Amino acid sequence: MHLIDQQLNLMIRGYFDDAWKISEELQQVLPDDPRAKFNRGWHLIHQGKLVEGFQLLEYGRDLNVYGAPKINTTKPIWDQSDLNKKIVIINMEAGYGDNIIYARYATEVWRRGGTCILCCDKNLHSLFMRIPGVSNCITLNEVSHTYHDFWIPSFSCSWLFNHTFETLPNDPYIFARSESVQVWKSIINTKKKFKIGIRWSGNPQFEHQQFRIFPPEKLINLYKDNPHIQFYSLQRDNDLFELPEEIIDLNHLLISWEDTAACIENLDLVITSCTSIAHLASAMGIPTWVIVPLLPYHIWAYGGDHSPWYSTNTKVLRQKKFGEWDEPFEILKQELETLFKPNINKTEVEEIDITL
C-alpha cells in the first residue's frame, strides 16, 4: 500500500498519531506531493495550527477537492495589503456548507474598510445579501464585468486574514428574512412542545461521505423516548424515509434557502450530521448539535465538544470508534435528558434555556 493511502486509511479509523508519523516521513520522501501536503494540512489544523494547516489545504484546489471553477479575472489574489476603499470578490468554493462557512469573511473585508462581493451559487444570493458587509452577490459569469481590485478563493480566507482559533470570527452572521420567519411560525407551531429539527445525511458526492453516515433510525427513533419533543425532519433530496407520524416531514416545504433559514429560526434545536444544515443553523446562532465521524471535516477537526468556528451554541458529538455510533448517540440522549427534568410539565417546556 502506498504511504499516502496507508496514512489516509489510518486517519479514517482515528489513528491520528500513527498517521502523523507517516506525514513526517512523507515530508522527507515526497516533499512536493500535493496529496501528502493536503493531508498534512488537516493534521496541523487538528493540532490547533490554523494558518499553517490552511496554507497546506491550498493543495486541495489543484487536486479538485473543492470543486470550484476558477473565476475569469486578471486581478490578483489579495496580498494581505490595506483593504481600505478596495473592492474584493470572494469566490466561494465547494458545496453549500462551505459557502456558508466562508461567507463570514465578507464582514472581515468590510471591517477593514473594503467592499466585499460574494461570487456564489444564485440560490444563496438572497440569504447572503443580509450578511454584514456584503455589498453584492454575483455568479461566475458576472465576474468579468464586475469591477474589483482583488479576489480571494474562499478556502484561502482563513489564513490570509491571519486568524488563530482564538480569534476566528464566530458570532452569528446569517439571518432569516423576518417575513419568512412569520410564515414558518404558523408551520412550526407545536405548542407546549420543544421543537427539534433533525437531518441524518448530506450530499452523497462529497469525499468520504460514506463515513459520515450513521444509521438514520438512531436519530429518527429519538421520538420514542421523548414525547415532550416535536421532531421535524429537515432531510431533503436524498436518503428520504417514510417517517413515523410523530415526526413532521418538511421535505416538500423547504423549497429555498430562505425557507430553510426561516424554518430553523423557529426551532429550539437542530441535530444533524455534518451537513450544510449544521453550518446554516450554527451561522444563525441557533443551538445545534453536530454528529461527526472519527475523521471529521476540517471545521470540526480542532476542539472538543465545541468548534471554535461557531459560538458555544454549537455542540460537537464525536464518534469514538470506527464503524460504531452508539457512544455519540448515548451522549446525545443524555444531553436531551438534562434539558427535561422528570417532573417537568408541558407548560414549562417553552421556558427551557437551550444555551450550551
pLDDT in tens, 70-81: 789 999 999 999
As given in the structure block, the three cell numbers for residue 166 are: 482564538
Architecture category of domain 3-62 in CATH? Alpha Horseshoe (1.25)
Stretches where the chain sits below pLDDT 50 are: 209-210, 343, 346-347
Helix, strand, coil percentages (3-state) for the chain, rounded to 5, are 40, 15, 45
Is residue 294 within 8 A of residue 322, CB to CB? The reply is: yes
Q: How far apart are CA 202 and CA 213, in angstroms?
A: 8
**Sequence spans of domains, the chain:** 3-62, 87-160, 180-349
Please tell me what DSSP assigns to residue 262.
Answer: H
Report CA-CA distances (Å) from 236 to 203, 257, 260.
Answer: 10, 12, 11
Per-residue model confidence (pLDDT) at position 353: 57
Q: Does 180-349 carry CATH code 3.40.50.2000?
A: yes
As given in the structure block, the three cell numbers for residue 334 are: 443524555
- Cross-strand partners of 199: 272
Q: How far apart are CA 149 and CA 77, in angstroms?
A: 9
Per-residue model confidence (pLDDT) at position 343: 45
Per-residue model confidence (pLDDT) at position 191: 76
Packing angle, helices 257-265 and 178-185, rounded to 10: 60
What pTM, to 2 d.p., does this model score?
Answer: 0.91
Torsional sign, CA 198, 203, 208, 214: positive
- Cross-strand partners of 97: none
Per-residue model confidence (pLDDT) at position 204: 54
